[in-house]
Structure 1
Amino acid sequence: MLILILLPAAFLLPPGAVAGEIIDGCEAQPHSRPYMAYLDIQSRDKRSCCGGFLVSENFMLPAAHCNGDKIIVILGAHNITKNELSRQVIPVRRPYPNQDYDKEAPHNNDIILLQLERKARLNGYVGLIPLPVAHQRMHPGTVCSIAGWGSTSAHNILNSNTLREADVVVMQDAACPRNPGGIYRDYNPSTMMCVGDPEKGKSSFKGDSGGPLVCQQTAQGIVSWGSKVGTPPAVYTRVSTFIPWIRKTMRMLQP
């Protein structure tokens, strides 16, 4: 179903866990999610992609493991292979990972604030998504949505040219059990959300990292990690936990 963003830094994740792509989704209506961003990430030894979302004219949020030596943000895109007139291409001036993020243990505090080189022009194709109230929690059973340009299945290594989307369900924290040897052993309910009903099969997977989990028109989560074969639930960074840090950092950096 849904595909999200490309091969963000799956090599940073331990065996059995991967960064996300969307499983069992459909093509989104063009430009129906104007906050969506496509990140072209360049590092010394590789080039990869992630998703992200615009939270102000000059700041956006993806996952912290979607960092690199150089990041180009593409806004206003639907088909990422076409030079659409709606597109805005803006380099990242500076990334600001959360101070508690550790790239050697990339599951926890997987959030980064990207300051853009210049302000985005807000219009019908490029817009903002509201952030949640600090420490707000979505009740289990809440239906949310995800979107991105990643692969469409665990068997398809190619990413989608067009933005795709899917609905997913917020699960109880117990659905991501912390077994010492299990794939969810790093799950932390204070900084993470467990999302995706195993019976429905819809989930984020390889290539979706950094994209938003949208619940009630707010960005409640960020695609972070999950099962190696793409079976739900997947794990999302809990944005509401980091609202004080986001607000403080943005105020500090505003001219």
Structure 2
Amino acid sequence: MVTMLILILLPVAFLLPPRAGAGEIIGGKEAKPHSRPYMAHLAIQHRGDSYICGGLLVSENFVLTAAHCNGDKITVTLGVHNIREREESQQKISVRHRIPHRQYNETTLYNDIMLLELAEKATLNRWVDTIALPRTNERVEAGAMCSVAGWGCTRRGSKSISAKLREVDVVVMPDDTCLKNPNVQYHIYNSSIMMCVGDPKTSKDSWEGDSGGPLVCGETAQGIVSWGPPTPPGVYVKVSIFIPWIQATMRRLQP
């Protein structure tokens, strides 16, 4: 969220992009190891600094994440549960091409989506697998219960990220929850390309370090952690709007 998910989540601060920026799951629990084989851990180097983001494997050689998770060098680790251990399931792959959306705006975080072409194909197995994307313009109704996961911060105000993958269930809110929210940060909310997620009455949310990770509804990645204030709701990229761009970009780069 504008301060959200990478390591730090500050919409434009970018050392740790805002929830887009950095952080960890708030109010959640440790995920069952390898129950989310599509999760990608991104280690990002940018101007001498380091931070993390999440991502999702959408094909053997492409990971989808947030554009604010860009950097000078990105290393993707798949099949990981504990980022501080060398698990036999892990596949560490460098990124050949970083392709942020051509209309990404780092001030408003509009079109906060990016494809990463891996330098080599991932080996799909019981620890590493792809996740389905929605149909073009598919809608998720308010009230739908979805989930988000990441290695970001687990407490607001803390810069300590989680070693193990954590997850939390979050509810999709009506757009007006963000559009008419008195918090001034939401003035950039755009319902055509963003989703408002997380009940303000709860403390369940993604946070710094979780940026770029998927919002999963059913078995489909409907959103990407983008930005938000320290409390819910958070703002997610509406993936269904970008399906034509995703498909065209992947076709263009396929060998």
- The Cα offsets for residues 55-97 of structure 1, whole Å up to 9 and x where unpaired, read as 0000010100000011000000000000101000000000111
Structure-2 residue corresponding to 1:195? 197
Q: Tell me if structure 2 keeps the 8 A contact 1:8–1:66.
A: no
1:157 CA displacement = 2.0
The alignment yields a C-alpha RMSD, in angstroms, of 1.9
Q: Matched residues, percent identical?
A: 56
- Secondary structure (helix, strand or coil) at the match of 1:185 reads helix
- Pair 1:127-2:129 in alignment: yes
Q: How does 1:38-49 map to 2 (within 5 A)?
A: 38-49=41-52
- Pair 1:71-2:74 in alignment: yes
TM-score using structure 1 length: 0.92
Structure-2 residue corresponding to 1:30? 33
Structure-1 residue corresponding to 2:110? 108
1:45 CA displacement = 2.8
Structure-1 residue corresponding to 2:153? 151
Residues of 2 paired with 1:35 and 1:223: CA distance? Answer: 15
What letter matches 1:50 in structure 2?
C
Cα pair distance change 1:187/1:35, threshold 3 Å: same
Q: Tell me if structure 1 keeps the 8 A contact 2:6–2:207.
A: no
Structure-1 residue corresponding to 2:244? 244
1:153 CA displacement = 1.3
Q: Tell me if structure 2 keeps the 8 A contact 1:214–1:220.
A: yes
Residues of 1 paired with 2:120 and 2:179: CA distance? Answer: 43
What letter matches 2:222 in structure 1?
Q
Runs (5+) with no aligned partner, structure 1: none
What letter matches 1:244 in structure 2?
P
Cα pair distance change 1:187/1:13, threshold 3 Å: farther
**Count of residues in Structure 1 that have an aligned counterpart in Structure 2:** 247
Structure-1 residue corresponding to 2:216? 214
Residues of 1 paired with 2:238 and 2:220: CA distance? Answer: 12
Q: Tell me if structure 2 keeps the 8 A contact 1:9–1:48.
A: no
Residues of 1 paired with 2:169 and 2:182: CA distance? Answer: 30
Q: Tell me if structure 2 keeps the 8 A contact 1:214–1:221.
A: yes
Runs (5+) with no aligned partner, structure 2: none
Structure-1 residue corresponding to 2:175? 173
Q: How does 1:6-17 map to 2 (within 5 A)?
A: 6-7=6-7, 10=10, 12=12
Structure-2 residue corresponding to 1:59? 62
- The Cα offsets for residues 26-49 of structure 1, whole Å up to 9 and x where unpaired, read as 000000000001000011231111
